[in-house]
Structure 1
Amino acid sequence: MPAGLSVFDDKGNSRLCSSNFIFNEIGTFVAQHGLPQEITDDRIIGKRIACFIKSVEQIQDGAYISYAYPNGISIDNNKIQWSYNGNFSYDKRAGLSESYKIYRVIYSYGWY
């Protein structure tokens, strides 16, 4: 059975189509502000690596939304690293400091 991945922008234009190559998932990592911002995996050495968002999970409930996506992911030798600009993105109403919904992003990485 043929398999593939297609990604489209908000206008329906194809941005990525992987139906002409096979993605071999090696593992996953969690990008969450405050956790380590790199993983080491010797299985990625010498391979063409791709990272995709696998899922976004809410880990804390609250009245307001707090989320952070890495502003960059880099791959060097056997390390995958990501960084943040130092700030969360907040949906916050002025003067209120109640609890926030907090999300983490789970990435899949592998070679193709």
Structure 2
Amino acid sequence: MKRNFDEDKPIYIQVREQIEDQIINQQLKANDQAPSTNQLVNYYKINHATVSKGINQLVEEEILFKKRGIGMFVAEGAREKLLEKRRKSFMEDYIVTLVQEANKLEITTEDILTYIKKVKGSGK
């Protein structure tokens, strides 16, 4: 996990996204214990309420679940839920804007696909 935060985004969202990334990247798998709130507070040197807010959102979305007195664990199907959520967000945040701009510039679908293949093939 990275310790530096982006000033343009609330810290609790960044903590949440880093846990999500660990689940997506399979560093944390279903039924694995997630870092505790106290571990995250100590690691990041941030307020307990900030960490709790991000963790509680993951619990509300059933990405994590609590075992009373033991800790937080990754829920079954959490990775799939996160992938679906991120794909939808990717579509809304990038693809829609890309297509709108391409239409303005009269760039064809074939040209877009050629550009994507070129960029993807270059390893960027």
The reply to whether TM is greater than 0.5 is no
Which structure has the higher relative contact order (CA within 8 Å, separation 6+)?
Answer: 1
Q: Could you say which structure has the higher strand fraction?
A: 1
Please, what TM-score do these two structures have when normalized by structure 2?
0.28
Kindly indicate which of the two structures has a greater share of residues assigned to helix. Answer: 2
